[in-house]
Amino acid sequence: MEEKLRRINLHKKPNHIAVIMDGNGRWAKGKGMQRVFGHRNALTAIRETADTASELDIEYVTLYAFSTENWNRPKLEVDALMSLLVSTLKKELPEFMRKNVRVNAIGDLNSLPANAQRVLAHVIDQTKDNSKITLTFALSYGAREEIVNAIKNISKKVVNNEIDIEKINEKIINTHLYTFNLPDVDLMIRTSGEQRISNFLLWQMAYAELYFTEVLWPDFRREDLLDAILDYQNRERRFGKTSEQIEETNE
C-alpha cells in the first residue's frame, strides 16, 4: 500500500472527489443480515476515505449519502438511516475538530427530520472554521431537483430585474446550485460494480473522470482509494482540446 502512496503524483491529484457509496445492502445480504447492518458498517469506509484524502491534501470530498429517491425505501430503513446520521455526526464531531475537517451538506435539507436538521446544523457550525478538508454529505439530494430549483430562482430574479437574462452564464448558474461553494468534481468513484451516476452532481461532473469498482462500499479502504487516484492520474484530461495542445500547456 505504501508503494502505491509513493506513486501518487501530488501535482496531478484530484482536487474534488465525489463518491457514490453503493453496495451496503448487498454487503449485508451476503452476510445474512438486514440492509441497515450494511449502512452501519460503512462508517469505516467513510473515515478511511476522508483520512486518506486529507493526507494527500485533497481539499474536497463529497459523499452521496441519501438521495431524494431514497425516501421511497421501506420506512424502517429510512428511519434507521436518519438515526444513524444523527448518531454518527454526534460521535464523529470530536474527530472532525481534531482532524481539521469542515463538514458541509447539500440537498433539500429541510426535508430531513427535525432532529437530523438540528444536529447537522450544529456540526456544520462547529466545524465551519476548519480548513484541512471539506467533507460534504449529499442528503435528500437529487441533481435534477437542484437544477430545477436553480432555474426557478434565477427566473424570479429575471422577473424582478435583478438579473439581465442576456447575462446568465455558467457562473450565475453555479451560484444558484447547492454546491455554490464547491469546485467542479474531478474524480467520481462508484462502488459495487454499478456503472451509472444516478442523478448525482450532473452539472458539477460535466468533465469528471468516472471510476467504477466492484468493491462494495463497506469494504472500501485506503488502498481502494489510492487505486482510483492512480487510475485518474493515468488519464489525459483534455477538456475539448487535443493531446498536443495539452502537452504544449504543460510544457
Q: Which residues participate in catalysis according to the annotation?
A: 22, 70
CA atoms within 13 A on the CB side of 30: 10
